[in-house]
Structure 1
Amino acid sequence: MHFTLTDDFDAVKIAASGQCFRWYPLSDGRCRIFARDRTVVLKQTAPDTLELDCTPEEFQSFWHDYFDFSTDYTAIRASIDPNDHYLSQSAACGQGIRILRQDPFEMLITFLLSQRKSIPAIQKSVEALSRAAGTPIGEADGQTLYAFPTPAQLAALDDDTLAACGLGYRLPYLRQAAQTAAHNPGLFDELAALDDAALREKLLSLHGVGPKIAQCVMLFGFHRMDSFPLDVWMNRVMDTHYPNGFPFDRYAPFNGVIQQYLFYFVRAERTGTAN
């Protein structure tokens, strides 16, 4: 099916934004995307056109929400202070990034294992976990496709299998998170009902979760759009460009979108791909 875009969307930038780790490039500019128990192949055939191998009904019932097409990112960019040249450059470079509505358990596990790992290494571990325990959801090019494991599926894996997925010292963190979620099937519904401050505190109480991971899970797993994760890259941005503090009040409740523009741009500057 084809979908006509009326707002920012750039599949390449989203895939490289550090928020999703199961977007796989295929041939001819296509990309295979996994989300919850579904998969779709997407191609951006023009700046304003997407082609997806799903039915219009599935797109409207699932993928439209996943891509957060109900949020006006053009308006968010328009709110940026024109006198803030660095942020204006960042938003221009990152135009097309959207905050995906992803599964909170998958985001918790993904960001727990992301500690001191490169993006390719994170992707490798996430795929290994999916193959080790996830439910088969289809086939493509002779390969079985797997959903990300449920808490119960992940909790059932033995330590040797988990270790083979490249978890290293993070293994106990993932095991405890999976067991906690498996023993309380309503956990993520309970967390979703909390306000931002309470959600952050609950996430910080989990083994292995620090401030950055908590903010990432809030932003990418619970769609708390005011969350502003700080890592080495973002701390460098804050120290260099905002030594007197960042104007969080101006950009509430969309500081998370602003963070993604800054995060994307500072890394693009380093690699020479900023435009």
Structure 2
Amino acid sequence: MEVHIPDLFDLKKIADSGQCFRAVSRPDGTYRFITGDQVLYIQKAPDGCYRVSCSQEVWDRVWRPYFDLERNYREISAAIPEKDAFLRRAAQAGAGIRILRQDPWETLVTFIISQRKSIPAIRSVVEMLSERYGTAVHVSGETLHTFPTAAQMRDVGEEDYIACKAGYRAPYLCDAVEQVLSGRLDLEKISALPDDQLIAALEGVRGVGVKVANCVALFAYGRAACAPVDTWIRKIIQQEYRGRNPFDRYGAAAGIMQQYFFYYAQSHKAETA
């Protein structure tokens, strides 16, 4: 099936944007995305069209929300004022990135893992957890594994997480599993909370600070006003904005601007080192 996406949309930039850790490119130009128990193979075709491996019903139900296709990123980028020269440059470099709407549980766990790890290292841990504790699915000649649910991780201990290279984050993962299974953290219920209360609820998990909580709010709950600040973003704020956080001025689009910052930093490391 083919779908038409008229807005800014770049598979490589999305896969490399540091939001999700299971997207992969294949030699034929196809990209594979996994969310929940759904697997998508998607390839660019002419005239803003994309070949996708799912039905129209699944595309509309799962993947349109996942890729945030109801939001017009072209308009958002065009609204960046000329005086913000750095952000305009970053938005041009990152044109085509979308804020992915991912599964809250997977996002919470993967961003706990992400602390002080490179993107390739995060990917490695996430794949090991999926292969050991997730559900096998057979699709397009591949055997893949879904990301394990909290229930599937019920009996995983700290030593098991350490064996998957989670390191000092192992007790944090144990706490996340326990909180979700006990109901102390209801990832569905907190979706109704305003941004500040949502972040506070996420910070109740051991090892989850303001940066990780903002990542989960942005990448799982679609809270585009949340702009996580990591080491790379902090360097840009110091270098380009004299230490003044610029995201407040962008309101409900702050998280999108943060992604442009992050992608620019990752693709221009010599400038932002």
Q: Shorter-chain-normalised TM-score: which range?
A: over 0.9
Tell me the residue number matched to 1:183: 182
**Aligned residues with identical type, % of pairs:** 39
Give the Cα–Cα distance (whole angstroms) in 2 for the partners of residues 92 and 47 of structure 1. Answer: 20
Tell me the residue number matched to 2:238: 239
**Secondary structure at the counterpart of residue 71 of structure 1:** coil
Aligned 1:111-130 pairs, distance under 5 A: 111-130=111-130
Matched-pair contact (CA < 8 Å) for 1:132–1:161: no
Structure 1 residue 198: deviation in Å? 0.8
Question: RMSD value over aligned CA atoms?
Answer: 1.7
Aligned 1:146-225 pairs, distance under 5 A: 146-184=145-183, 187-225=186-224
**Secondary structure at the counterpart of residue 92 of structure 1:** helix
Change (3 A) 1:100 1:47: farther
Matched-pair contact (CA < 8 Å) for 2:247–2:258: no
Could you tell which deviates more after superposition, 179-188 or 253-262? 179-188
Matched-pair contact (CA < 8 Å) for 1:133–1:153: yes
Give the Cα–Cα distance (whole angstroms) in 2 for the partners of residues 28 and 205 of structure 1. Answer: 44
Which amino acid is 1:117 matched to?
K
Give the Cα–Cα distance (whole angstroms) in 2 for the partners of residues 46 and 148 of structure 1. Answer: 33
Give the Cα–Cα distance (whole angstroms) in 1 for the partners of residues 170 and 15 of structure 2. Answer: 26
Give the Cα–Cα distance (whole angstroms) in 2 for the partners of residues 268 and 176 of structure 1. Answer: 34
Change (3 A) 1:21 1:53: same
5+ residue gaps in structure 2? Answer: none
Which amino acid is 1:61 matched to?
R
Which amino acid is 1:8 matched to?
L
Tell me the residue number matched to 1:40: 40
Change (3 A) 1:53 1:247: same
Give the Cα–Cα distance (whole angstroms) in 2 for the partners of residues 255 and 79 of structure 1. Answer: 12
Give the Cα–Cα distance (whole angstroms) in 1 for the partners of residues 269 and 130 of structure 2. Answer: 32
Change (3 A) 1:80 1:224: same
**Secondary structure at the counterpart of residue 187 of structure 2:** helix
Matched-pair contact (CA < 8 Å) for 2:227–2:247: no
CA deviations 1:129-181 (Å, max 9, x no partner) are: 1111112232444x421111111111222344322211111100001101111
**Secondary structure at the counterpart of residue 153 of structure 1:** coil
Matched-pair contact (CA < 8 Å) for 2:237–2:246: no
Which amino acid is 1:265 matched to?
Y
Tell me the residue number matched to 2:264: 265
Give the Cα–Cα distance (whole angstroms) in 2 for the partners of residues 26 and 182 of structure 1. Answer: 36
Change (3 A) 1:53 1:255: same
